[in-house]
Structure 1
Amino acid sequence: MKILASLLLFLLVNSTLSIAQITTPPAFLRQNRQWVDSVFATLSPDERIAQLIMVAAVSDVKRAVIDPKTSNPAAVEKLIRENKVGGVVFFQGGPVPQARLTNHYQSVSKVPLLIAMDAEFGLAMRIDSTVRYPYQMTLGAIQGNNQLIYEMGSQLATQARRLGVHINFAPVADVNNNPNNPVISFRSFGENKYKVAEKAVAYMRGMQESGLLTSAKHFPGHGDTGTDSHFDLPVITHDRNRIDSLELYPFKALMNNGLSGVMIAHLSIPALDKTPNLPSTLSKPIVSDLLKSELGFQGLIYSDAMNMKGVTKFFPDGKADAMGLEAGMDVLEFTEDVNKSIAEIKKSIAAGRITQAEIDFRCRKVLEAKAWAGLNHYKPVVMDRLYEDLNPKEAELTNRLLTEKALTVLKNENNLLPLRNLDTLKIASVSLGADTVTTFQKTLGLYTTIDHYYLPAKATDAQAADLKSKLGNYNLLLVGVHLGSVSPKTNYGLTDPMRMVLKDLTASGKAVVSVFGNPYALNKMDHPELAKGLVMAYQSTTYTQDLSAQLIFGAIPGEGKLPVTVNADFPYNAGMETPAIGRLKYTIPEELGMDSEVITFKIDSIAKLAITQKATPGCVVQLAKDGKVFFRKAYGKHTYEGPETVQLNDLYDLASVTKITASTLALMSLWDQKKFDLDATMKDYLPDFEKSNKADLPWRKVLTHSARLKAFIVLWKEAQNPDGSWKKKTFSTKQSKKYPISVVDDSLYIFKDYDKTIFKSIRDSPLNEKEGYVYSDLSFILYPQIVKRLTGEDFESYLKNHYYHKLGANTLTFNPKRFYKLEDIVPSERDTFFRMTQLHGQVHDEAAAMLGGLSGHAGLFGTSNDVMKVWQMYLQQGYYGGEQVLSKDALIEFTRYQYPETGSRRGIGFDKPTFKYSGNAPRYASPSSFGHTGYTGIMTWADPAWKLNYVFLSNRVYPTRENNKISSLNIRTAIMDVVYQELLKK
């Protein structure tokens, strides 16, 4: 539907653009004439003039950048009470103070006030704690998806009306073709008049069709100026043909689509009016002759702020206000002195330069706009849930999607982007202009191991030298340039230290550079074209930083194009498309049609129940759908009594999830290579088993737990004498050549060849008398042997070298204390019967501990994010990161029911839902789903039918394994069922 809507919008805009100077009347005209007539009849001549005046206000005087003497609440209230002004335009402040002031101002006004704001990129342009959408230049980079811009306009309108605002002085319709423009630049959609027009129309329609008056600016075009009209009067020297064909084009398109308002710029344009030093706001040939008569515009005509030097420099003391009305304007915005203005306007009426009838006509037009905005049935702003209503999750989704579509890849040497072959890369990230690790770097770190560095904007030579000295050992540098200014006067925030370091990094031949700022800043850099990769993000926000990192790793495609010409290397429409390559994308539930508030509340409730009921001290929950991680949250603490809170990057003991994240993965790989046959027997790959009772057991039966193997053997008990002492050649309390392997740090070591004893115990163990399903650890203890025998590589190296490092799942490891601090590893049980210690950073399972912490049935540790990467590869039938890591056939074969005719629910290695719900899987899981649970409180589950991926990590065995509330309360399955239930509502 969105694609169709975008196409219809495109056709509508372009069809209207082809019709010259035919204006569609705005919708507010001739609204509720009875109310308009009745209100008008109560107004004195002076009050009718006052209806054409809009005064400035702030809701936070301390932060005001305008004169607090005239904009403070008392001064504004006086103007409303005494002069009966028609409207208020709000500047600095916050939403709650502004709403309260709005209600107060409306309560003391004879006629309901029109409330206006400059909210070009959202209410956040003026007030805090509200939504900030992308700049218009960022939106200009989006290709062919103007429906998103329409939705942005619609959402902004809803937010504005919720705050009691009726007019947005937007969109900016200026065509910015001057790189040195000090006042428009990033506020424009770009330099192409057609693109500016179609995007401005989409934005305008979105606002107006959701009940917000608009005012396109800055007529007749402020895009090709080198002077800021806030401080002086810019001069436009182009001839009439150029102005007609270029600057006026977007305004005509907007008028043809029912534009409700136009704002006149303070510009001197000799081609349109030769009067020296006369701003266009005061020019009758521009306002009345061109805009109203020639172009046929019937909507409201607003002045730009009448306190700007572009008008007051030559026309002070209220004279400009009178001249503006004489020129043809309807509303004077930001009048400096209302009393002087009214006095000067009355002089103009008396002198016949403007008639009372003209004043009355414009007053009626203002009242019609008020009626259209609903002020004929005025209601105060409701204060309850104001903040929540002004910050809806839908706006966050729109922000994310707009940003994603705009990101522009300007350089991609040898198709380096998106990054592949992660196992060959040693990566450092560098944020220039940052005082700490940035959002950009944090998101980069979700994809693989990266070392992070940063350099402050005003770094010393010593800081710069120190940074460069640390980067020599890396073969890839991911550089973020964080620009703190949008102004060309300040080089867009590119400081000399940043520029010099950036020059060296791009010259190294190892840098992929992401620019978080104005695209014209490329002109201030030394040879950015030398970068291996270059991503233009247009501004520095959490969205641009987050999504630029995701683009680099191929979670999202690169689709944007430069909306302006920067230089010969980076011309208009430059930009290369880069593909998404199947890596996890990180987003919010709304992108998948789910409600964040509902999802979060329900999952929070279950997780908190688990913690309050002491089912586990803490946990991590991560969920993805369609390859998009939409929920990722940590709860509780490492232990009930300790201070350490659970972090998203904490490593957990995965227990039996090792079976399908390590052993089964390796077996699928060997099956792909035709080195492992599921229908071969145990003796085929374990020669020592040739004369055992297990010799002829087929691996397919073994891997589905239906080969009569015992569930487990208490191996540590077999090493113990009746009196509790250890048998000879089993354990020692001191490390030596004979006892090299630690079972418990500094207190217990196992005999060097004891693994052979363990394997012999498994080989010689009796079989169960009856056939049928019995879950068994025994065969999984043997798979590392098989992997070594068939590949020549040890188990852990095989997994890391061929899978984990390729996937960027580098935290997946055995014996994690070799690589991670204890505070990053969550403890498990207090072992009171074998190792007699708190287990922390060492495997919980006793048999795995006796094998040096490395086994095929337990021993793997990792973070939720890295576990999910493996499982997303499974869910995508072996594809991840642009590579077919495993064959589709392997995933199909291993994850299907093997013996459904016997009632067995098992796949090869994987667990699957029982045919009649029993609680081993989520209640709503499809028959195609597969997963596993872990003894320490772990669960992983993937559902191809719903494209769902779920990871739950906990340490339910702390302090004791006797606590099984995690299962009795159905904590793990209940969380995934929350998602199923939400999806079933759709």
Structure 2
Amino acid sequence: MKMIESKGDILDAKKLSLKQKVGQLFMPAVFINDSEEEVQKMEALIRAANIGALCFFHSRASAATNFEGKKKIIHNDNSYARLVSLIERYQTAAPYPLLIAIDAEWGLAMRIENTPQYPYAIGLGAIQDQEGILIELGKKIGEDCKNVGIHWNLSPVADINNNPNNPVIGYRSFGDDKTKVYRKAQAFIDGMTSVGILNSLKHFPGHGDTATDSHLGLPVINKSKAEFLENEIYPFKKLIDKGVDSVMVGHLQVPALDDSGNPATTSRTIIDGLLRNQLGFEGVIISDALNMHAVSKKYTTKGSLEAKAFDAGMDMMCFSEHPVEGIDEILKTATPERIQESFERVWHLKRKAMASNPTKFTKSKLDYNELNTELARFSITEYYGNESQLDLIKSDSFLNLSIGKCIGNYFSTAIELNYNAQHHYIDVDNLEEIKKALYKSDNAVLALFPPAAKPKDQFEIKPELLEFIRDIVQKKNMLIYLFGNPYVSDILGLNGKSNVVFAYQCFESFQKVAFEHFSDKLEAKGKLPVQLKFLNKP
């Protein structure tokens, strides 16, 4: 904050030319692991174009540019220090203080190594009637942002995830219940706001019910307008009525809302008509990343996408790859009055961020580990389709199995130490050996750590291991502890009589809570935040 305060009077906008005001509407992406050459290029752009905001990503390999996943992501233990250094450099280069933004849906760890990571939203969705702990979470993430000079956390996700095959939202959503999504998002926002961090609802008008990744293509959602207003729009409307800083528009085509073929990003009907006029939102409207293939492939002339989005009612151009050309195109096509409207919204948001005084805020009561432990205790969820079989597991010798890796397997190790049940870690190279061990008992506990949170390629579970799980589920009396996305359960060959405990994350704190539950020292209070197919099987 010192860097910002030293820049002079942020309230004085009289000196800005019309072109400089347009520059304030642009938020290029910046990368923590960029080369010195790229950093200097960005410093020059900030100075020359009077850029208003920046959005930080880990690297070009991990950002939305890496659509095909061909670029190698390089781990950097010094990302945190590098982020702090770059924020200072870019602020120094800026004629006017920059708004610094980041995606920190589950903390800075979403972009930065060796920083606190909190649960994905889908696990938080399992928590019942404990808004206070979600306020603490929002506060904690907000504090982490503030400590490095970030003003704007582009979260929470207000999408209702009602499509199990959603490749881009899924685990990032609080669930499929519109009221619970609204309440949890509100608690998260309240926490961030309490420590002076700006928020952004995303991805309007609702990215939940699609099986297309908008990084790669344009999702088309064929629902009626009535359905959309009743369900997808509900959390946005409720949160807008309460008051939010910004709304992020997603790259979605919804014919019932706009039959022109335009994605929401460039749809005046959706942005200016629905969001601004019908829902009455008066704050900043920000785009999802403009380099995403859903829209970037449609507008190939440099600057044309930015100008089209602005014409539709957009205020802030996030991840614009062509800010210089975009500024020129907006100056050619927009009226001074229209430019002034967006500028005043962005400037107001900037003033709000710069006026934030850290000494006025009350710090979170819990440290990182304490908070994660509490979140684990409130979220752990059990589904017992055949509860009478559970006693057989602990009353007799049972197999202590695990598949997948986390940073340490506290859960299986604790079972081995406390129940005299040898831990068998299962992988492709020892499958035959494990199959022989299975003859020793009809009962088994399986700790499953899925490699991925996204459904692509069966959550990246190796086909041989997935086949093995499906087989033993049918042959053994199983109790599965799932440390990951609950949708994984639908590919395991389970049925309504299966016994599963959903622990959501593989963090050590979540594993310790899971062991407390296994040891009958903790009651599961969570409820599944999404509908699962296997529960409808006989």
Structure 2 length normalisation: TM-score? 0.89
CA contact (8 A) 2:56 2:101 kept: yes
Query: What is the alpha-carbon distance in structure 2 between the residues aligned to residue 509 and residue 421 of structure 1?
Result: 10
**2:128 corresponds to 1:169:** no
What amino acid is the match of 1:480? Answer: A
Among 98, 108, 111, which residue is 2:96 paired with? 111
| 1:447 match: secondary structure | helix
Over the aligned positions, Cα root-mean-square deviation in angstroms equals 2.5
- Residue of structure 1 equivalent to 2:210: 225
| 1:472 match: secondary structure | helix
Give the CA deviation at 1:415. 4.9
CA contact (8 A) 1:430 1:479 kept: yes
- Residue of structure 1 equivalent to 2:420: 449
Give the CA deviation at 1:141. 1.0
CA contact (8 A) 2:132 2:187 kept: yes
Give the CA deviation at 1:75. 2.2
Query: What is the alpha-carbon distance in structure 1 between the residues aligned to residue 245 and residue 285 of structure 2?
Result: 9
Q: Give the unaligned 5+ runs of structure 2.
A: 1-7, 60-78
Among 346, 357, 360, which residue is 2:331 paired with? 346
Give the CA deviation at 1:450. 2.0
**2:381 corresponds to 1:401:** no
- Residue of structure 2 equivalent to 1:569: 535
Give the CA deviation at 1:486. 2.1
Offset from partner CA, 1:336-361 (integer Å, 9 cap, x none): 01111111111112xxxxx2122123
- Residue of structure 1 equivalent to 2:197: 212
Offset from partner CA, 1:893-933 (integer Å, 9 cap, x none): xxxxxxxxxxxxxxxxxxxxxxxxxxxxxxxxxxxxxxxxx
Give the CA deviation at 1:121. 0.9
Alignment of 1:298-309 (within 5 A): 298-309=282-293
Among 116, 140, 165, which residue is 1:155 paired with? 140
- Residue of structure 2 equivalent to 1:285: 269
Query: What is the alpha-carbon distance in structure 1 between the residues aligned to residue 456 and residue 206 of structure 2?
Result: 22
Offset from partner CA, 1:675-711 (integer Å, 9 cap, x none): xxxxxxxxxxxxxxxxxxxxxxxxxxxxxxxxxxxxx
| 2:418 match: secondary structure | coil
Alignment of 1:663-812 (within 5 A): none
Among 3, 27, 42, which residue is 1:54 paired with? 27
Q: Relative to structure 1, is the Cα distance of residues 559 and 374 closer, same or farther in structure 2, using a 3 angstrom cutoff?
A: same
**2:114 corresponds to 1:129:** yes
Alignment of 1:570-969 (within 5 A): none
- Residue of structure 2 equivalent to 1:85: 51
- Residue of structure 2 equivalent to 1:535: 501
- Residue of structure 2 equivalent to 1:336: 321
What amino acid is the match of 1:464? Answer: L
CA contact (8 A) 2:444 2:476 kept: no
- Residue of structure 2 equivalent to 1:498: 465
Q: Relative to structure 1, is the Cα distance of residues 467 and 348 closer, same or farther in structure 2, using a 3 angstrom cutoff?
A: same
**2:345 corresponds to 1:365:** yes
Give the CA deviation at 1:365. 2.1
Percent identical residues:
33
| 1:373 match: secondary structure | helix
CA contact (8 A) 2:46 2:90 kept: yes
Give the CA deviation at 1:437. 6.9
- Residue of structure 2 equivalent to 1:488: 455
Query: What is the alpha-carbon distance in structure 2 between the residues aligned to residue 256 and residue 475 of structure 1?
Result: 56
Q: Relative to structure 1, is the Cα distance of residues 520 and 421 closer, same or farther in structure 2, using a 3 angstrom cutoff?
A: closer
What amino acid is the match of 1:542? Answer: E
Offset from partner CA, 1:635-694 (integer Å, 9 cap, x none): xxxxxxxxxxxxxxxxxxxxxxxxxxxxxxxxxxxxxxxxxxxxxxxxxxxxxxxxxxxx
- Residue of structure 1 equivalent to 2:235: 250
CA contact (8 A) 1:121 1:132 kept: yes
CA contact (8 A) 2:393 2:444 kept: no
What amino acid is the match of 1:152? Answer: L
Query: What is the alpha-carbon distance in structure 2 between the residues aligned to residue 231 and residue 436 of structure 1?
Result: 31
**2:404 corresponds to 1:433:** yes
CA contact (8 A) 2:196 2:356 kept: no
Query: What is the alpha-carbon distance in structure 2 between the residues aligned to residue 421 and residue 75 of structure 1?
Result: 62
What amino acid is the match of 1:78? Answer: A
Give the CA deviation at 1:439. 2.3
Query: What is the alpha-carbon distance in structure 2 between the residues aligned to residue 468 and residue 435 of structure 1?
Result: 23
**2:431 corresponds to 1:464:** yes
Work out which structure has the larger RCO, using CA pairs closer than 8 Å and 6 or more positions apart in sequence: 2
**2:458 corresponds to 1:474:** no
Alignment of 1:296-335 (within 5 A): 296-316=280-300, 317-335=302-320
Larger Rg: 1
Query: What is the alpha-carbon distance in structure 2 between the residues aligned to residue 377 and residue 537 of structure 1?
Result: 38
CA contact (8 A) 1:506 1:530 kept: no
- Residue of structure 2 equivalent to 1:200: 185
Which segment drifts farther, 237-246 or 473-482?
Answer: 473-482
Query: What is the alpha-carbon distance in structure 2 between the residues aligned to residue 502 and residue 148 of structure 1?
Result: 35
- Residue of structure 2 equivalent to 1:558: 524
Query: What is the alpha-carbon distance in structure 1 between the residues aligned to residue 388 and residue 494 of structure 2?
Result: 20
Q: Give the unaligned 5+ runs of structure 1.
A: 1-33, 63-67, 350-354, 380-389, 572-986
CA contact (8 A) 1:204 1:214 kept: yes
Query: What is the alpha-carbon distance in structure 1 between the residues aligned to residue 378 and residue 149 of structure 2?
Result: 31
CA contact (8 A) 2:28 2:319 kept: yes
Task: Tell me how many residue pairs correspond in the alignment.
Answer: 507
Offset from partner CA, 1:493-539 (integer Å, 9 cap, x none): 222221222123323333211122222222211235554x3112234
- Residue of structure 1 equivalent to 2:260: 275
What amino acid is the match of 1:370? Answer: K
Query: What is the alpha-carbon distance in structure 2 between the residues aligned to residue 492 and residue 540 of structure 1?
Result: 15
Query: What is the alpha-carbon distance in structure 2 between the residues aligned to residue 323 and residue 436 of structure 1?
Result: 46
- Residue of structure 2 equivalent to 1:73: 39
Offset from partner CA, 1:379-424 (integer Å, 9 cap, x none): 9xxxxxxxxxx9996122111111221111112533566x6995x4
| 1:454 match: secondary structure | strand
- Residue of structure 2 equivalent to 1:671: none
Give the CA deviation at 1:443. 3.0
Give the CA deviation at 1:306. 0.7
CA contact (8 A) 1:492 1:517 kept: no
**2:510 corresponds to 1:544:** yes
Structure 1 length normalisation: TM-score? 0.49
| 1:79 match: secondary structure | helix
Query: What is the alpha-carbon distance in structure 2 between the residues aligned to residue 526 and residue 156 of structure 1?
Result: 37
| 1:273 match: secondary structure | coil
- Residue of structure 2 equivalent to 1:101: 86
Q: Relative to structure 1, is the Cα distance of residues 542 and 570 closer, same or farther in structure 2, using a 3 angstrom cutoff?
A: farther
- Residue of structure 2 equivalent to 1:413: 386
